Amino acid sequence: SETSFVYFAYGLMTQFPELEKIYTKNGYDVYRNDLVKIVPNNNLDLEKNTMYDFGLFTRPISGKTYLISSLFYKDMKDLITVKKVETTDGISIYRYTNLGSAYSYRFDLHFSNYPACYYENDPSLFFELSYSLSFTKGNLNDLQNENYYMDWDQRHKLYFSLKYDTHDKDIFSIPFTDRLNIKLSNSLKSGLPFTPTIEYYNGMIPENKITMNSERMPWTSSTDITVLKSFEIGNSDSRNSNPAPGN
């Protein structure tokens, strides 16, 4: 329609293995928390990613108010991981293999309000609000039989920004407050997963009952304030035109 549309995107991507994983002879296995000898593997295959993205863009309110919602799914195959191999003489060695896999799905919601006066070079105030809910599970550990939350799995992300642009007008006739851009932004994120130790549970849970990435780090928050002042030199404006409101 005139105020909304639906979109769909599909992507198939491959990623070449890092050279160090093809030629390295030793390394650090983060899953076993130990230094290990790694046998080079020149036959590593490409990592494969298949992505689907479905979304809705709409302008439910008159003016410059937008609402964007989307669903995203990503399937990851042949991920490179370290596998323990027993040789014929009973020696344990480690090598990189394409036995890892993972999948991720995410819901995004973005709301923004750009007042019409912004495009008329009048002082304007606008804001953006974004929320993301995601899940990422897989298996990169040959010692773990079931899927677990990946290290980068972050359940919630919330972002908010408030921006005021004076354009060519002074604030309450205060000198040098024209062409002033003030932005306040805040992000709130849930904690990433981690694998606890026996000490974390004070010995109440045996080591063989502890699963990969079964606990979460605390939430984190960050706030930024940016102030941008533009100056006109001669007859030219250092800001050629109104930037995109989100910048």
pLDDT at position 36 is 58
Write the pLDDT tens digit of every residue in 58-88: 875 556 778 889 999 999 999 988 887 777 7
Write the pLDDT tens digit of every residue in 230-246: 877 766 554 444 555 55
Quote the CA–CA distance of 42 and 97 in Å, as a whole number: 10
Helices (H) and strands (E) in the chain, counts: 1, 15
Residue showing tokens 């130990």: 34
pTM, full prediction: 0.74
Higher-scoring residue by pLDDT: 77, 29 = 77
Residue 55 has pLDDT above 70, yes or no: yes
User: Cβ–Cβ contacts within 10 Å for residue 118, how many?
Assistant: 18
Mean pLDDT of the chain: 81
Per-residue tokens: 181: 């851009």
DSSP string over 134-189: EEEEEE-BTT--S-EE-TT---EEEEEEEEEE-TTS-GGG-TT-TTEEEEEEEEEE
Q: Give burial (CB, 10 Å; 0-12/13-18/19+) of 138.
A: buried
Higher-scoring residue by pLDDT: 6, 19 = 6
Quote the CA–CA distance of 95 and 115 in Å, as a whole number: 58
